[in-house]
Structure 1
Amino acid sequence: MPKILIIEDQLEVRQNIEDILSLEDYEVISAPDGETGLALAKQHLPDLILCDVMMPRVTGFEVLMSLRQDPNLAVIPFILLTAKADHHAFRQGMELGADDYLTKPFTIDELLHAITTRLDRHYQRQAMVESRLDNLRQQVTRSLPHELLTPLNGILGTSQLLINFYDSLSRNEVMESLHDIKTSGERLHRLVENFLLMADLDLLLASPTRLEVWQSRLSQYTELPLSLALVLENLGQNQPRRQDVEMMIVPQRVQVAEPDFQKIVQELLDNAFKFSLPGTLVQLEAVAKNGTCHLTIRDHGRGMAKEELNSIGAHVQFRRHEFEQQGSGLGLTLAQRLTELYGGKLAIASVPGEGTTITIQGWESDSI
């Protein structure tokens, strides 16, 4: 039985709505003012809230703002009630996150239709979130154990070697083993971070509270070429192929938060390194066209077959039985998701035996 909270300061209106909803088998909770309504919302976690706009002390807009700032209440469908058709108030309510708006006096059918529509959408969204969670659990169950075992085996095997033969190993051999342990540990750390980030991105659009956190980053900028130089510098600590990268960068400010920009480039470069031989050129270009950034990363490796391009998704590994490369296709999918989050589009063109070109277009940019 859906639970509905009514926040209305007019006793007669409140009681009329209570009677209507009770006859429709809804569980009804009511409050005579906004302050009491907020307390009842936190206590009962209703499935939907009907709230008057003009109330003393705490208005309906203030109730809505408080709810949207509370992670436990932010996704509850919220319908505003008003005694006048005020276009400005309507826009204000929608901008604050209201799901619908009813102008008094409204009919019983209008009330029930609004409630049914919002509840249906709310339940559909919940079902979508649960479906995504189930898919994510299945993907993690299938992929995570193997992906974790590869670097973990490196850590355990090399550390056991040190324990068994420490007295007979030279200083250089010990340092080399310690370096291998550190490299495997960094791979493991990055893999876990990628899985956690993918989980966040997978649920992002279905969760308004998560989306609000990310939206605060959407207005941030990254400066080129400085940010790309930092990516290469970080790669250089553990990636001997840094010298294979050739850059052609037009200075510009790109409307992507720097941590996300660097993550995208890092994953795309890592993909290029995995599927091309050491010593072969990897080209990185960033130019500005019509107020947008065009980023291209091109390798001259083995390329991808058509079925590989079609199967890009979380935890897909490209032809593992043929090419034993370390890592998973998760990084490429992360880059694609992050690119789209900032309004860009990632495209992949590949010719088997010749190489792969990944292009990103659509990010807003300013020249500097």
Structure 2
Amino acid sequence: MPKILIIEDQLEVRQNIEDILSLEDYEVISAPDGETGLALAKQHLPDLILCDVMMPRVTGFEVLMSLRQDPNLAVIPFILLTAKADHHAFRQGMELGADDYLTKPFTIDELLHAITTRLDRHYQRQAMVESRLDNLRQQVTRSLPHELLTPLNGILGTSQLLINFYDSLSHNEVMESLHDIKTSGERLHRLVENFLLMADLDLLLASPTRLEVWQSRLSQYTELPLSLALVLENLGQNQPRRQDVEMMIVPQRVQVAEPDFQKIVQELLDNAFKFSLPGTLVQLEAVAKNGTCHLTIRDHGRGMAKEELNSIGAHVQFRRHEFEQQGSGLGLTLAQRLTELYGGKLAIASVPGEGTTITIQGWESDSI
């Protein structure tokens, strides 16, 4: 039975709506003011909220704003009720995240139709999120055990070696073992981070309300070449390949939050290192064209065939029986989704035996 919260300061109106919804087998909760309504929303987590606009102390707009800022309440469908058909008020409500608007007096059919429509859309959205989660769970179930066990076995095996033979090992052998443990730990940490980020992005893309909460991040900037220099300083186990990187960077500010920008470049560089031999050139170029940033990463490795390019996705690896590279296959997918989240487009061109070029276009930028 769907649970509906009514927030309405006029007693007669509130009781009439309660009676109508109760007859339609809805579970009804009501509040005489916005402050009480917010408290009941947090307590009961209703499936839908009907809220009057003009109320003393806390208005309907303020109730809506508070709800949309609370992660536990942000996705609840919200219908504003008003006695005045004001276009400005209507736009204000919709911009704050209202799902619908009813002008008093409204008919029983109008009320029930608005509620049914918003609940149906809400349930469809929930079903889509659950479908994405089920798909992610299946992908993780197939790929996660192996990818977690590989570095974990390295940590356990090397630490056991130190325990058993510490007294007979030289200082250099101990340091080498500790370095191996650290490398495996870093790989395990990054793998878990990537799986969590992929789950967050799946939910984000399936829920417009979650995307609204992210809007402040989408307006942040990253300065080049400073941020790229930081990426190269923190290559982790790929640090020996730093000398293979050739950069050509035009100074500019790119409209991408710095943590996400660095994550994108880190994953693309990792992919370039993974599929090319040490000592071969990896070119990193960032130029500005018509107010947008054009970022290119080019390796001279083994490349990918057309069918492999068409199959790129999370948890996918190519020709693992031929090439025992490490990784879960998440990197390119994460880079692509983050790129698109900021209005960019990621393109891949590859020739088997010659290498791969990844280009990002469309991010807004300005010179510095």
Cα deviation for residue 237 of structure 1 reads 6.9
What is the Cα deviation at residue 238 of structure 1?
Answer: 4.9
Sequence identity percentage? 100
Equivalents in 2 of 1:32, 1:170: separation in Å? 76
Alignment check: 8 A CA contact 2:299 2:356 kept: yes
Work out the CA distance in 2 between the residues paired with 1:16 and 1:170.
Answer: 84
User: SS at the partner of 2:357?
Assistant: strand
The range that moved more, 184-193 or 302-311, is 302-311
Q: 1:164-204, CA deviations, whole angstroms, 9 ceiling, x for partnerless residues?
A: 33333222222222211111111111111111111111111
| Structure 1 contact 3–29 (Cα < 8 Å) conserved | yes
Q: Deviations over 1:93-125 (max 9, x none)?
A: 111111100111222222111111100011011
Structure 1: runs of 5+ lacking an equivalent: none
Alpha-carbon offset, residue 207 of structure 1: 4.1
Q: CA deviation at 1:158?
A: 1.9
CA distance in 2, matches of 1:42, 1:192: 32
SS in 1 for 2:13: helix
Report if aligned partners of 2:221, 2:258 keep a CA contact under 8 Å in 1.
yes
Offset, 1:208: 5.5
- How far 1:236 sits from its partner (Å)? 6.6
How many residues are matched?
Answer: 368
Which residue does the alignment assign to 1:213? 213
Greater Cα shift, 142-151 or 20-29: 20-29
RMSD: 1.6
Task: Please identify, of 216-225 and 7-16, the stretch whose mean Cα deviation from structure 2 is larger.
Answer: 7-16
| Stretch moving more, 241-250 or 1-10 | 1-10
- Equivalent residue of 1:324, what SS? coil
CA offsets, 1:242-294, max 9 Å, x none?
A: 11111111110001111111110010000000101111111110010110000
List runs of 5+ in structure 2 lacking aligned partners: none
Return the TM-score normalized by structure 1: 0.96
What is the distance in 2 between the residues matched to 1:29 and 1:167?
71
Structure 1 stretch 349-358 or stretch 24-33: which is displaced more?
24-33
Q: Find the aligned partners of 1:71 and 1:177 in 2 and give their Cα distance.
A: 44
Contact 1:71–1:209 under 8 Å retained in 2: no
Query: Residues 29, 342 of structure 1: CA spacing in aligned structure 2 closer, same or farther, 3 A cutoff?
Result: same
- Which stretch has the larger CA shift, 343-352 or 310-319? 310-319
Find the aligned partners of 2:137 and 2:356 in 1 and give their Cα distance: 31
1:195 maps to what in 2? 195
Report how far residue 223 of structure 1 moved: 0.7
Change (3 A) 1:236 1:34: closer
Distance change (3 Å), C-alpha of 1:52 and 1:240: same
User: 2: CA distance between counterparts of 1:132 and 1:236?
Assistant: 32
Cα distance between partner residues in 2 of 1:145 and 1:338: 25
Tell whether the 8 Å contact from 2:85 to 2:103 is kept in structure 1 after alignment: yes
C-alpha separation between the residues in 2 aligned to 1:25 and 1:355? 63
Residue of structure 2 equivalent to 1:49: 49
**SS across alignment from 1:217:** helix
- Give the TM-score of the pair, scaled to structure 2: 0.96
Cα separation, 2, equivalents of 1:263 and 1:71: 25
Q: How far apart in 2 are the matches of 1:83 and 1:50?
A: 14
Given that residues 148 and 188 in structure 1 are in contact (C-alpha distance below 8 angstroms), is that contact kept between their aligned partners in structure 2? yes
CA distance in 1, matches of 2:3, 2:127: 18
Cα 1:209–1:114 shift into 2, 3 Å: closer
Query: In the aligned structure 1, how far is the partner of 2:105 from the partner of 2:236?
Result: 68
Of residues 304-313 and 76-85 in structure 1, the stretch that sits farther from structure 2 once superposed is 304-313
CA distance in 2, matches of 1:253, 1:356: 26
1:260 corresponds to which residue?
260
